[in-house]
Chains A and B, each alone.
Chain A
Amino acid sequence: MTLAQHDSFPPRVLVTKIGFDGHDRGSRIVASFLRDAGMEVIYTPPWQEISQVVRLALEEDVDVVGVSSLSTDHLLMPKLMKALDEAGLGHVKVVVGGIVPDEDEALLMDAGVSKVFHPGVGREEIVGGVAEYAAQARQLRSEELVT
């Protein structure tokens, strides 16, 4: 048996929703097409607590967390970013999709979110973006010492 090219494993992505909003058409569609693009998608229903998202990201060892937000739930993102960092998941890349007012985008980017995908962004752009962030996360991750 030979050792694998282990980083050829597909990106692992957590697709989730935090806060109160329950419109999950977007997160379901995105989860489906990330899967169809060959990724391993861990999907959750809406209303996850921040602690739950962190725990899922941790246990599933994901590369990217995608958060769908349609109302104002994106305001919680800075808290999520902080919690991920505190759990030692600083290498995980986080993207947000949905309705985020321009005025709030800076708030999210400052908190460490990698990208906000606004409505109308095509499937290819999302898939390409997520794949790239996953590669970055893997890179950061492999720099961590495994001893």
Chain B
Amino acid sequence: MSDRSDQVVQLPLPGFETAKRQWRSEFDGQMKDKPNPKNRSGVEVKPVYTSDDWDPSSYMDDLGFPGQLPMTRGIYPSMHRGRTWTQRQLIGLGTPEDFNERLKTLIASGASAGSLIPCNSVYRGYDGDEVDPLLLGTCGAVVNTVDDMEICFRDIPIGDFSTALNDPSPFTLLALLLAVAKRRQVPWNRISGTSNQSDYISHFVCNHMFFRLALPGARRVLTDHIVFAQKHLPGWNPLSVVGQHMQQGGATPAEAMGLTLSTAIQYANDCAARGLDPDDFLAKFTFFFDISISFFEEIAKFRAGRRIWQRIVRERFGAQNPKAWRFKFHAQTSGVDLTREQPLNNIARVTAQAIAGIFGGLQSLHTDAYDEVLSVPTEHAARIAISTQEILKREAHLTDVIDPLGGSYYVETLTNEMEEKILSVIEQIDEAGGMYAAVESGLVQKIVGDSALAFQDRVDQGEETIVGVNRFQVSEEDELPRQPLRPPQADVIEAQLERLKRYKSDRDQAAASRAEDDLARAAESEDENVFEKIVDAACAGVTHGEICHRLRDVYGFGNPLIVP
């Protein structure tokens, strides 16, 4: 074939029309008037796709080559051939000691980077001594102070290790990590990783558990945090725009992509307004998506998203730097599709989702444990989730060919159709005055809420099959080898609280309160960098909860109330 690559394929091919007519009549004969199904985004799916739907002569416009515009086939020339993807598993349970131990185990079993998931009390902006101890450490690690963070990364060379912090605004975990680096005399320019929960807009709309500051405050601190990283942390990705929240909140895949790109446009506008150079800051933007089990739709969603993003950065922001054109994303298999019924079926679901993500060209992957819908994942289930990735990579050879579905009539048509849907969402948000305004007015919440209800209706009416739930139920559920992770014992939590108490009494109080006051003053000012003061405060011994409270005093506590 290679010697004919310059020849234009002549369409239609001889005999094509006759064969098509014959197929159509045979197909209709068998299928009667059964209507075409629609995917979750509302795209009607035909029984077969041909060059009528996607004309291969538009190859160079639609696809190009990997690492080249329009980026459809992937953002790097070698894609998964060169470097597969980062295996990121979310971990975090109990005390900093528990986290440290688990992190070391995961590194030993092949994880190449770590994610820190803090306790839900941390997400809400509280220290351990402010909440009901019953819930402490039941969902993630209790990290309130520099000492806690020091223990989390004991024996781990933080200068050579990539860390994803689940760290919503005001980014206290990053501040604590930088304080640890300072203590260990590791220069900040060697700290690498991502602020995984920096997207306050998606939190405000969909994932309220991370929401700590009212919208204007969240906007200010995020921009300051990006500015700070731009200046001091070359290895850090300060922004991850989280489409996962939108989709888990109920948005269709196309809506989730559209809303996420609109959110990124908002953040880019905010950065540009602060005088940052799009060539610099856009090269650091990363994304985080949900991979639902709607297989081809997800693949098309990612391919279309890549193609749209490079156009946005070039056309709207004039980015010249090819690094800024790259749509880098982490993806997580969707927990929404997992079922409590016959939970081992979830391994098959996660596998299908992961394949869609890999074919979609992801840079980083988290595979859910099959028991995630039952409780916080067990060690056993977490290991299967990691093995799934290895099997797909090494046994199924999914990474041998770049964008292996590229050129498929179906996938290319669907990519185009998803692109249209996504663009119409972006247009709707543009018309509403941009994402920030659309969120303030409640438009986005309505879009997401309506789609969530519509999907539930489809499930309830049996239009969407969920095996074991609305079809193929069994009377006897699988007996699982379950050794659930239990919340930490009361005495462990007591010790943690005791350590916090000691930390608060042993620190240099004068320095800590000075740093807190500096922080409050910066927050009220127009021109100081608030995040810089957060880092200073963490270094001066101020705790996570204290930082959050001081900022809430100034900006107010975001209460993203949505009444359905």
Find out whether the CB atom of A120 lies under 8 angstroms from the CB atom of B341. Answer: yes
Stretch in A53-61, A69-77, A82-90, A133-141 with 4+ CB within 8 Å of B: A69-77
Contact A22 B207 (CB under 8 A): yes
Instruction: State which of A25, A43, A119 has its C-beta within 8 Å of the C-beta of B249.
Output: A25
Q: Does any Cβ of B come within 8 Å of A106's Cβ?
A: no
**A118 vs B206: C-alpha distance in the bound complex, in angstroms?**
22
Near A by CB (< 8 A), chain B positions 342-365 give none
Contact A72 B487 (CB under 8 A): yes
Closest to A46 in B: B208
Interface string of B327-347 (1 = CB under 8 A from A): 000000000000111000000
CA distance A79 to B135 in the complex (A): 12
Interface residues of B (CB under 8 A from A): 120-121, 123-124, 131-132, 134-135, 138-139, 206-211, 248-250, 339-341, 373-376, 449, 452-453, 456, 460, 466, 468-470, 484, 487, 559-564
B375 and A101 within 8 A (CB): yes
The reply to whether the CB of A102 lies closer than 8 angstroms to some CB of chain B is yes
Least CB separation from A32: chain B residue: B564
Of all chain A residues, the one with the shortest Cβ separation from B487 is: A72
A19 to B139, alpha carbons, bound, how many Å? 12
1-56 of chain A: CB within 8 A of chain B: 19-25, 28-29, 31-33, 43, 45-47
For the complex, give the distance between the alpha carbons of A45 and B249 in Å.
Answer: 14
Known contacts A23-B208, A119-B373; can you find 8 more A-B pairs with CB under 8 A? A19-B132, A23-B209, A33-B456, A72-B120, A72-B135, A79-B132, A99-B375, A120-B339
Tell me the smallest distance from the CB of A135 to a CB of chain B, in Å: 23
Q: Complex formed: what's the CA distance from A124 to B459 in Å?
A: 12
| B250 contact set on A, CB distance < 8 A | 25
B484: which of A20, A25, A101 is its contact (CB, 8 Å)?
Answer: A101
CA distance A33 to B562 in the complex (A): 16
Compute how far the CA of A62 lies from the CA of B211 in the bound complex, rounded to whole angstroms. 29
Interface string of A98-117 (1 = CB under 8 A from B): 01011100000000000000
Chain A residues in the interface with B (C-beta under 8 A): 19-25, 28-29, 31-33, 43, 45-47, 71-73, 75-76, 79, 99, 101-103, 118-120, 122-124
> Are A122 and B135 in contact (CB-based, < 8 A)?
no
Contact flag A120-B452 (CB < 8 Å), given A20-B209, A22-B210: no
How far, in whole Å, are A47 and B132 apart by their CA atoms in the complex? 12
Closest to A71 in B: B139
**Docked-complex contact B460 and A123, CB < 8 angstroms:** yes
The complex places the Cα of A102 from the Cα of B468 at a distance, in Å, of 18
Instruction: Among A28, A46, A73, A123, point to the contact of B452 (Cβ < 8 A).
Output: A28
Q: Which residues of B contact A124 (CB under 8 A)?
A: 460
Can you list 15 residue pairs at the A/B interface with Cβ under 8 Å? A19-B132, A20-B124, A21-B209, A25-B248, A25-B249, A25-B250, A28-B562, A28-B564, A29-B564, A33-B456, A45-B560, A72-B135, A75-B134, A102-B374, A122-B460
Q: Are the CB atoms of A22 and B340 closer together than 8 Å? A: no
A116 shortest CB reach to chain B, Å: 11
Residues of chain B with a CB closer than 8 A to A76's CB: 132, 134-135
In the bound complex, how far is the Cα of B339 from the Cα of A43, in angstroms? 26
User: In the complex, how many angstroms separate the beta carbon of B381 from the nearest chain A beta carbon?
Assistant: 13
CB <8 Å contact, A29 and B452: yes
The chain A residue with its CB closest to the CB of B139 is A71
With A22-B207, A29-B564, A31-B564 as given contacts, are A103 and B484 in contact (CB-CB < 8 Å)? yes
C-alpha spacing A102/B374, complex, angstroms:
8
Expressed in whole angstroms, the Cα–Cα distance for A124 and B134 within the complex equals 34
Complex CA gap A24/B210 in Å reads: 12
Alpha-carbon separation in the docked complex, A43 to B135 (Å): 23
**Distance A79 CA – B132 CA, assembled complex (angstroms):** 11
CB distance from B488 to the nearest CB of A (A): 11
Q: Are B135 and A119 in contact (CB under 8 A)?
A: no
Nearest chain A residue, comparing its CB with the CB of B561: A45
Complex CA distance for A21 and B119, rounded to whole angstroms: 10
The listed residue (B135, B206, B470) touching A19 by CB distance below 8 A is B135
A44 to B340, CA, bound (A): 26
Residues of A within 8 A of B132 (CB): 19, 76, 79
Task: Report yes or no: B249 in contact with A22, Cβ–Cβ below 8 A.
Answer: no
